[in-house]
Amino acid sequence: MNLLEVKSLCKAYGEGETTVNALKDINFSVSKGEFVAIVGESGSGKSTLLNIIGALDTPSSGTVLIDGKDILKMDDEKLTIFRRRNIGFVFQAFNLMPELNVEQNIVLPLLLDSKKPDTAYLEELLTVLGLQERRSHLPRQLSGGQQQRVAIGRAIITHPMLILADEPTGNLDSQNSSEVISLLKTASKRYQQTILMITHNRSIASTADRVFQVSDGVLSDLGGYTE
């Protein structure tokens, strides 16, 4: 079953002779529970693609279906609620709230949706993420790797159908990068969450179930990873 379907997606900036085609007729689908990587150089269009799928940007044309729902046809209110409940984001810059501790940062999406955290699930996440002993620490008291684990916890606390990870290891050393990718794979398998990750690091991409490449706004399916 496809959790994500992208059809004839195009994105252009500017008009006339100054037009820049960032995305050119993108078509692909991702199955439920699949861990997919998108590789490409800076400026290739991969971040634009991820932002459109996450409803943080709008395309010039095309369709994005998540669990069969066309997110581009939703009004702002419905889209905001759908995104908050069904899409988790992991950013390169962590984007944690500096005044909140680890536990508070993780449960923040639930509180914004006026929901109470599931205590058992929260404890499970803290254990899986290796943050039990850091639950009361502020972001400034954590290493980069620990901060990214908090960001992953925040992304999956709502049981989202889709997790979008934008260069999640970009600010980490090789050891922490490996740990973060392992945690994302755990989320994919343990919680049956679909993960779409963009990266310029082909070694990291090789850990995914399937790899796409974006070059000059054109997407190609590399299948199982090959050099």
* Tens digits of residue pLDDT in 91-134: 888 899 999 999 999 999 999 889 999 999 999 999 988 999 99
Using alpha carbons, select from 159, 162, 198, 157 the residue that is nearest to residue 2.
Answer: 162
Q: Report yes or no: 32 and 203 within 8 Å, Cβ to Cβ.
A: no
Give 65's DSSP letter. E
Higher pLDDT, 172 or 132: 132
What confidence score (pLDDT) does residue 36 get? Answer: 95
Q: How confident is the model at residue 224 (pLDDT cuts 50, 70, 90)?
A: low
Give Cα separations from 193 to 30, 75, 135 (angstroms).
11, 25, 24
- CATH fold, domain 2-223, is Rossmann fold (3.40.50)
- For the chain, give the mean pLDDT: 91
CA distance 38 to 213: 5
Q: How confident is the model at residue 140 (pLDDT cuts 50, 70, 90)?
A: very high
pTM, two decimal places: 0.89
Domain ranges of the chain: 2-223
What confidence score (pLDDT) does residue 227 get? Answer: 45
CA distance 130 to 123: 10
pLDDT tens-digit series, residues 207-222: 899 999 999 999 998 8
CA distance 167 to 91: 7
The kind and range of the H/E element at 154 are: helix 144-156
What confidence score (pLDDT) does residue 226 get? Answer: 43
Give 132's DSSP letter. G
> Which tokens sit at 168?
């999640």
